[in-house]
Amino acid sequence: MNTQENNQKLTLRSGGPAARIAVIPGDGIGKEVTPEAVKVLRAVAAAGKRRMEFVEFDWGADKYLHEGVSLPNGAVEMLRDEFDAILFGALGDPRVPSNQHAGDILLGLRVKLDLYVNARPLELLHERLTPLRDRTEKDLRIMVFRENTEGLYAGVGGFFKKGTPDEIAVQEDVNSRKGVERIIRYAFAYARQKGLKRVCMSDKSNALTFAHDLWQRVFKEVRQEYADIDSRHVYIDTLAMEMVRDPRQFDVIVTCNLFGDILSDLGAQLAGGLGLAPSGNIHPGRTSLFEPVHGSAPTIAGKGIANPLGSVLAAGMMLEFLGWKTEADAVHSAVREALFKNYLTPDLGGAKKTVEVGDWLAEFVAQAATT
């Protein structure tokens, strides 16, 4: 893979006039926030005279409990061949303690669609949202790229003498040369395309002397192709401290699956909490999946108070992936405006219902297009 090719493939295709979107609301509040994101997408597509077609799938705990089906046969091929992108809600239901269906569907799609980039933007949209003292919007704007298909989440391992006092549990950290190289390249290509000057690779190579030695070697090779970008390495424990101490140091962070998972949740909290955090599961140039970072929040499900902003921002990321930059910017502006006007659900200190926030955002993007 050369750099030019990688640069070209950060988005889906050409940003054409029509898009086909698979919608998987899932469980709990996924079923409440996803329709609001679709509502905003319909409004922004109409305002931009674009055609967006939605097909909804009822995959989740109900289907699993009634029919014993989690990810139906042929689903992966159908999504890959017939859709441009997937808008996903959340999975997880107390009636399925093993969360078997969630693993099958979400992890299944990530792996089978080979969505190797987990993009998690950490952006402070209003200074009152951060727990950090004296920080403003300009101090926290970081894109975290987490490797999304291997590492400690590859599911390689086993038990020995399970259930006995001598039990041993082994979980392998799987790092392929190809897997490490493509996520590091993506981070550099993204930085260059966005005009960002700094890329930080984070690992724990001082302790994980095999797996992260590979990360070190690949990073050193790839960074040579990006002399215009200031690249550095920071150990993950130091990085966690530094992100809290002074988040202004970072533009783009790239790291492995486990560290990216933890670090991006830390960052999400610095930027206003789970209700606001979006993510993209991306394979450049192929059908990719966009979702809020939060889960199905069973304790507030059905009350109509879930914050839809994480899902709406994920929909905005999807628009950018489709190459619809104007529409993506319009969605982002609408969310910022809702924050400034305090048109928010209770988790962010507002008094609005999920549906009211969705209606307001849809109206905002429609009006913005006419002014």
Ligand X SMILES: NC(=O)c1ccc[n+]([C@@H]2O[C@H](COP(=O)([O-])OP(=O)(O)OC[C@H]3O[C@@H](n4cnc5c(N)ncnc54)[C@H](O)[C@@H]3O)[C@@H](O)[C@H]2O)c1
Catalytic, 104? Answer no
Closest distance of CB 89 from ligand X, Å: 7
At residue 231, the 3 state secondary structure works out as strand
Pick the binder of ligand X from 41, 201, 297, 330 (CB under 6 A): 297
Site for ligand X in 325-364 (CB under 6 A): 347
Catalytic, 329? Answer no
Pick the binder of ligand X from 35, 151, 247, 275 (CB under 6 A): 275
* Nearest to 78, CA basis, from 48, 53, 109, 36: 109
Task: Please identify, using beta-carbon distances, which residue of 147 and 251 lies nearer to ligand X.
Answer: 147
* 238 is an interface residue for ligand X by CB under 6 A: no
- From 9-17, 76-84, 178-186, 297-305, span contacting ligand X (CB under 6 A): 297-305
Burial bucket for residue 125 (CB in 10 Å: 0-12, 13-18, 19+):
buried
- From 15-23, 84-92, 117-125, 312-320, span contacting ligand X (CB under 6 A): 84-92
* 257 is an interface residue for ligand X by CB under 6 A: no
Site for ligand X in 92-121 (CB under 6 A): 92, 99, 106
Pick the binder of ligand X from 37, 61, 307, 358 (CB under 6 A): 307
* 310 is an interface residue for ligand X by CB under 6 A: yes
261: Cα separation from own chain's centroid: 10
State the residue for tokens 């269906």: 101
- From 146-154, 194-202, 222-230, 306-314, span contacting ligand X (CB under 6 A): 306-314
- From 158-166, 229-237, 291-299, 336-344, span contacting ligand X (CB under 6 A): 291-299
| Number of residues that this document lists for the chain | 371
Pairing of β 85-90 and β 51-56: unpaired
- From 89-97, 153-161, 215-223, 258-266, span contacting ligand X (CB under 6 A): 89-97
Pick the binder of ligand X from 70, 118, 205, 296 (CB under 6 A): 296
If binding means CB under 6 A, how many residues of this protein chain bind ligand X? 21
CA–CA separation, 355 vs 352, rounded Å?
8
Closest distance of CB 295 from ligand X, Å: 2
- Helix 325-341 / helix 30-47 crossing angle, nearest 10 deg: 120
Catalytic, 204? Answer yes
Sheet holding 18-26, edge to edge: 51-56, 18-26, 85-90, 288-292, 278-282, 117-123, 141-147, 252-255, 198-203, 230-235
Closest distance of CB 106 from ligand X, Å: 6
What are the start-end ranges of the E strands in 57-115? 85-90
* Nearest to 245, CA basis, from 96, 131, 132: 132
* 274 is an interface residue for ligand X by CB under 6 A: yes
Burial bucket for residue 345 (CB in 10 Å: 0-12, 13-18, 19+):
buried
- From 37-45, 107-115, 125-133, 292-300, span contacting ligand X (CB under 6 A): 292-300
Task: Please identify, using beta-carbon distances, which residue of 263 and 297 lies nearer to ligand X.
Answer: 297
**Residue 290 contacts residue 87 (beta carbons within 8 Å):** yes
**Residue 155 contacts residue 111 (beta carbons within 8 Å):** no
Closest distance of CB 244 from ligand X, Å: 20
Catalytic, 39? Answer no
Catalytic, 153? Answer yes
* 199 is an interface residue for ligand X by CB under 6 A: no
Closest distance of CB 354 from ligand X, Å: 8
* 19 is an interface residue for ligand X by CB under 6 A: no
Total Cβ atoms within 10 A of residue 70: 21
CA–CA separation, 310 vs 316, rounded Å?
10
Pick the binder of ligand X from 124, 191, 300, 357 (CB under 6 A): 300
Task: Kindly give, in sequence order, each residue whose CB lies less than 8 Å from that of residue 195, ignoring residues fewer than 6 positions away.
Answer: none
The catalytic residue positions are 153, 204, 237, 261, 265
Interface residue list for ligand X (CB under 6 A): 29, 33, 90-92, 99, 106, 274-275, 291, 294-300, 306-307, 310, 347
